[in-house]
Structure 1
Amino acid sequence: MTSLPQVAPRIAKLTALSIGVALLATACGGSSTPSSTGSSSAAAAGIACPAPSATSAATSAATQSGPVPPSTTTTATPLKIGSLLPTTGSLAFLGPPEIAGVNLGIKEVNDAGGVLGKPVQVIHRDSGDTKTDIATQSTTALLGQGVSAIIGAASSGVSKTVINQITGAGVIQFSPANTSPDFTTWDDKGLYWRTAPSDVLQGKVLGNYMATCGAQTLGMIVLNDAYGTGLAKNVQSAFEAAGGKVVAQELFNEGDSQFSSQVDKVLAAKPDAIALISFDQAKSIVPLMTGKGVKPTQIFMVDGNMSDYSKDFQAGTLKGAQGTIPGTFANDAFKKKLLAIDPALKDFSYAGESYDAVNLIALAAEEAKSTKGTDIAAHLKDVSQGGQKCFSFPECVTLLRQGKDIDYDGQSGPVTFSDAGDPTEAYIGIYEYQDDNTYKPVKAEFGKL
């Protein structure tokens, strides 16, 4: 494209979001059986959803043939990227795949000759969670080392504590996992971007899916922060639009360790299904629910707590429970590359989004012929749309250096940015837990914002 977006506050540019989600083609099978009082008993509800499928919607990256041509412009200041991802705190389980995705992206960029003739540098720092001030300290350290972009945080709540600090310094904040709708209208000077879709989309998919699986009534246990309440709002809206009724919603705060009150109040309403919107608090909440007779097939989880619980619960505890994670299913070739970076990986959530963040930043820097954060930001939307499709840094940068316009699509699926820095289309993966308390893919739903 010849006309590039200008870096400017976003609020005046935005209009109301309209969303179109491909609804499930077939019912999940089974239906809840209403009790004599007109409400359904959680212990007796017959929610039955589809068996897992091996089908993946992940994009297969094209292979670049031949050498990558050298950049016609070189920089005296190498591109330096920081990461602000969790190695401690309630989202620490997401840190390893995200960090591996960043490192894989950096490796492939540098294997292809780097950006503007120089290797890209990366500095990793812990984000912690909202119970600590680690994110602020890490951000201060990264900014002090002259980074042009920071990939992170994973938690929307954590990002809210540092977004003004980062963007106020003229540095890009690029999150692979923030899903709070609040960032769409944040006055971020055009410097906040994300490869994870807003929870408007995840909430729509999960709410519709539970209704299609036969649930008529829904209880919700929700983390009281920007992520939890924002996602809960969209889940409720979609579930009720599908004809269901939310009969109970209980909140808890980050740092809480006792959840019996919330569980008891939700179960007293006898919902067919329970949406658990939390981080690792699920380790405490799930046993409380199943211990009181809730069937795992009635439990629906979200990206904040979809994790490997094989070492936390007895076999079968979560068998049949389902949940959603934004993004496509990581394909085998991509998993193999990630495992070469970190052989201990067991979870691949948001690895693709982190990898894509690196590629998009690097490609935008190449197109801008600059490693300055504000210059890179002005080209991020352009490299995501309107040109020749390409799927890897070597392939895309070759086209750029040949003077061609590009449209990068990556491991997280199609990437097309809005003026607000949000992906305008995305997949939401639906997963089901197995007897060993690990999860496998069921299907992916595609939607547009």
Structure 2
Amino acid sequence: MMLKRLLTAAAVSSLALTACGGGGGGADTGAKSATSAAPTSTAAAVKGDGTLTIGTLLPQTGSLAFLGPPEFAGVDAAVKEINDAGGVLGKPVSKIDTDSGDTTTNIASQSVDKLLTQKADAIIGAASSSVSESVIDKITGAGVVQFSPANTSDKFTTINDNGLYFRTAPPDKLQGRVLGDLIVADGNDTVGILAMQDSYGSGLADQVTKTAEAAGASVVERVDYDPKAADFSADVAKIKAANPKAVVLIGFEESAKVVAELVKQGLTADKVKWYMVDGNMSNSNYLKMPKGTLAGVKGTIPGAAAPTDFRKKLLAINPKLTSYTYAAESYDATILIALAAEAAKDDSGRSIAAKLPEVSEGGEKCKTFKSCVDLLKTGKDIDYDGVSGPVEFNAAGDPSVATIGVYQYGENNEYDATKALEYRTGKIES
């Protein structure tokens, strides 16, 4: 069992990456300590009310609104399966949906207040790392689990969270390494980086830089820009002056404006290789551009492709889905929370947090809520293997193993969300 989550003195992530063929505030960022990771005896004595209430803090508006539909669908699919199997602790799971917005508004804080008032035991979200940072103290300080399906900022590995923060998305150290290696493997020895200036953008840019330079390439220009800027001409001009062979775009919705400026200044994808990341890959604004604008552009997204059966479940929930990014991670987060509550025989946040590592590794393997909960009811230890992967947590609440997919855009300025050029799997240890 993952008792080391409660015992570790300082969880600092290191990552060993193995290539496999075929295939986004103001929180306290102090290191996690034994004191912060373990619930206090007083708090541990607090019991739930018998009904597992899951809140969602996911983007309905803002710069990551395009990630909302697959994430909500993943949660909804999981809750349906849980309740169809008899619910948790003999009662149906209650779900409350709220909007996370983005960092330009106070929507997330207002949503968290609503969820806490309605006695949410666990909150799934936010998608944006910066949004999660802005509310993590409020959530975990209330003894509630915060479980993000999409936070990738490396800050969460060591953030002060009272042992109540988990995620199914891997830290940017992994995506950054995969992307950096990909850029160099494609024959690029000079690289320019345009990254939004926040914990997600700057952190990912740092890792791409480190990896690419370690592999022999030079980052000849890096611009960390204000994502709320009305114009990116000066930023792109700096990249153009450095004359790189490859340009890395790390951002959210504003990336469409950056792309338009690259084209305007002659840095088109047929002349300079562009690379993108999970934050800007599924951008509907690209579809408004002339065909071929993004043809050949590559990008990385954490997680393996959603299996066909799982995609069908999601489409039954939301027939309009065109992207499945972080749907599997949202689904797995919901299932794991429910299994942890069953294992603890209590729905309080601290009880759930204490059991999340236990239900994710070391026991009899199971892949559905029903099969797993049936094992729990017979007194067996379980190891839930999810749609997004094995989902075993390390001491920091990060997935200990994760997969990154590499995708490529076609002439229609879209990439096929069901197909990857390759997958690369990495191990994340604490």
Measure, in 2, the Cα distance between the counterparts of 1:205 and 1:258. Answer: 30
Measure, in 2, the Cα distance between the counterparts of 1:235 and 1:150. Answer: 31
| Secondary structure of the structure 2 residue equivalent to 1:22 | strand
Counterpart of 1:302? Answer: 277
The one of 256, 262, 277 aligned to 2:250: 277
Measure, in 1, the Cα distance between the counterparts of 2:49 and 2:168. Answer: 29
Q: Which amino acid aligns with 1:416?
A: E
Kindly report which structure 2 residues correspond to 1:360-375, keeping only aligned pairs within 5 A, or say none: 360-375=336-351
- Per mean C-alpha deviation after superposition, the further-off stretch among 314-323 and 284-293 is 284-293
Whether the 8 Å contact between 2:5 and 2:396 is mirrored in structure 1 is no
Q: Which amino acid aligns with 2:356?
A: L
Counterpart of 2:41? Answer: none
Q: Indicate whether 1:355 and 2:345 are aligned.
A: no
Whether the 8 Å contact between 2:20 and 2:423 is mirrored in structure 1 is no
| Secondary structure of the structure 2 residue equivalent to 1:439 | coil
- Per mean C-alpha deviation after superposition, the further-off stretch among 319-328 and 283-292 is 283-292
Q: Deviations over 1:204-247 (max 9, x none)?
A: 00000110011101000010001000111011111111111100
Q: Indicate whether 1:445 and 2:427 are aligned.
A: no
Give TM-score scaled by structure 2 length. Answer: 0.90
Q: Deviations over 1:111-162 (max 9, x none)?
A: 1110010000100000000000000000001000000000000000000110
Measure, in 1, the Cα distance between the counterparts of 2:267 and 2:287. Answer: 21
Q: Which amino acid aligns with 2:362?
A: G
- Per mean C-alpha deviation after superposition, the further-off stretch among 255-264 and 284-293 is 284-293
Measure, in 2, the Cα distance between the counterparts of 1:398 and 1:289. Answer: 55
Measure, in 1, the Cα distance between the counterparts of 2:295 and 2:379. Answer: 53
Give TM-score scaled by structure 1 length. Answer: 0.86
Measure, in 2, the Cα distance between the counterparts of 1:83 and 1:175. Answer: 10
Q: Deviations over 1:366-421 (max 9, x none)?
A: 00000000001000011111111111111111111121111111111121101211
Structure having the higher helix fraction is 2
| Secondary structure of the structure 2 residue equivalent to 1:158 | helix
Counterpart of 1:119? Answer: 92
Measure, in 2, the Cα distance between the counterparts of 1:220 and 1:141. Answer: 39
Q: Which amino acid aligns with 2:14?
A: S
Counterpart of 2:165? Answer: 192
Kindly report which structure 2 residues correspond to 1:180-329, keeping only aligned pairs within 5 A, or say none: 180-296=153-269, 298-309=273-284, 311-329=287-305
The one of 390, 400, 417 aligned to 2:393: 417
What is the CA distance between 1:352 and its match in structure 2? 0.4
CA gap 1:217/1:6 in 2 versus in 1, 3 angstroms: closer
Counterpart of 2:129? Answer: 156
The one of 165, 168, 173 aligned to 2:138: 165
Whether the 8 Å contact between 1:277 and 1:304 is mirrored in structure 2 is yes
The one of 13, 20, 25 aligned to 2:16: 20
Q: Which amino acid aligns with 1:314?
A: P
Q: Which amino acid aligns with 1:312?
A: K
* Unpaired segments ≥5 residues, structure 2: 24-47
Q: Deviations over 1:25-60 (max 9, x none)?
A: 6xxxxxxxxxxxxxxxxxxxxxxxxxxx8x5xxxxx
Whether the 8 Å contact between 2:402 and 2:425 is mirrored in structure 1 is yes
Q: Which amino acid aligns with 2:79?
A: I
Measure, in 2, the Cα distance between the counterparts of 1:308 and 1:262. Answer: 21
Whether the 8 Å contact between 1:428 and 1:444 is mirrored in structure 2 is yes
Q: Which amino acid aligns with 2:10?
A: K
| Secondary structure of the structure 1 residue equivalent to 2:191 | strand
Measure, in 2, the Cα distance between the counterparts of 1:23 and 1:363. Answer: 32
Measure, in 2, the Cα distance between the counterparts of 1:206 and 1:105. Answer: 31
Counterpart of 1:342? Answer: 318
The one of 355, 372, 385 aligned to 1:379: 355
Whether the 8 Å contact between 1:383 and 1:408 is mirrored in structure 2 is yes
Whether the 8 Å contact between 1:308 and 1:439 is mirrored in structure 2 is no
Whether the 8 Å contact between 2:168 and 2:398 is mirrored in structure 1 is yes
Whether the 8 Å contact between 2:5 and 2:397 is mirrored in structure 1 is no
Measure, in 2, the Cα distance between the counterparts of 1:164 and 1:6. Answer: 19
CA gap 1:366/1:4 in 2 versus in 1, 3 angstroms: farther
Whether the 8 Å contact between 2:150 and 2:169 is mirrored in structure 1 is yes
Whether the 8 Å contact between 2:303 and 2:403 is mirrored in structure 1 is yes
What is the CA distance between 1:6 and its match in structure 2? 6.7
Counterpart of 1:102? Answer: 75
Q: Deviations over 1:151-187 (max 9, x none)?
A: 0000000001100000000000000000011111111
Q: Indicate whether 1:390 and 2:369 are aligned.
A: no
Q: Deviations over 1:85-121 (max 9, x none)?
A: 0010000000010010010010010011100100001
Q: Which amino acid aligns with 1:307?
A: S
Measure, in 2, the Cα distance between the counterparts of 1:326 and 1:77. Answer: 35
What is the CA distance between 1:291 and its match in structure 2? 2.9
What is the CA distance between 1:13 and its match in structure 2? 3.3
